[in-house]
Amino acid sequence: MDKRALINRLCERVTGGRAVAAAYLGISESKFNNHLYENKGSRFFSIDELVALQTLSGSSLVAEYFATRSDAIVVPTPSAEVDTVELHHMCLNTAVKRSAVDQLILEAIRNHGSINEQAQQKILEAHRKHIATRDGEIRATLQVYGK
């Protein structure tokens, strides 16, 4: 994902889209678009503006964008109240995410005999999601069964 796609994805998650995002940053929608497309000598959004848009969108997209560029993984913190039923659901979700990674690998090899660049990107994205989900599961397990 490039930086413009990041902004577009953030705006998709904001009720009211770009107009509301621009107002939240205290700028007009046309100035917002100038920042987005770096028109009329405008700079792209600052880190603080990106974080503000992430907060407004209720997502972790900015963190994920920078993590991907740094070959790192964003791991969400589990909720404070996790019980054994929710923990079981987390375990099932982790298994599903791992299975998705394995399925992508199998399909790439079966269809092409190798893993091309496009398939590799999909596999790595699914892998990051699996690892983040697994980390949340482990932290929740420690929370539920820790002394």
Per DSSP, the three-state class of 3 is helix
Q: Length of the chain in residues, anyone? A: 147
Lowest mean pLDDT among 16-20, 73-77, 104-108: 73-77
Instruction: List, in order, residues 6 or more apart from 102 with CB less than 8 Å away.
Output: none
Q: What is the pLDDT of residue 85?
A: 92
**Neighbour-count burial for 30-64, b at 16+ CB within 10 Å, e otherwise:** eebbbbbeeeeeeeebeeebbebbbebbebebbbb
Q: What pTM value is reported for the model?
A: 0.69
- The residue with greater pLDDT, 23 or 112, is 23
- The residue with greater pLDDT, 143 or 20, is 20
**Which is it for the CA torsion 22, 23, 24, 26, positive or negative?**
positive
Question: Tokens 């994205």 — which residue?
Answer: 125
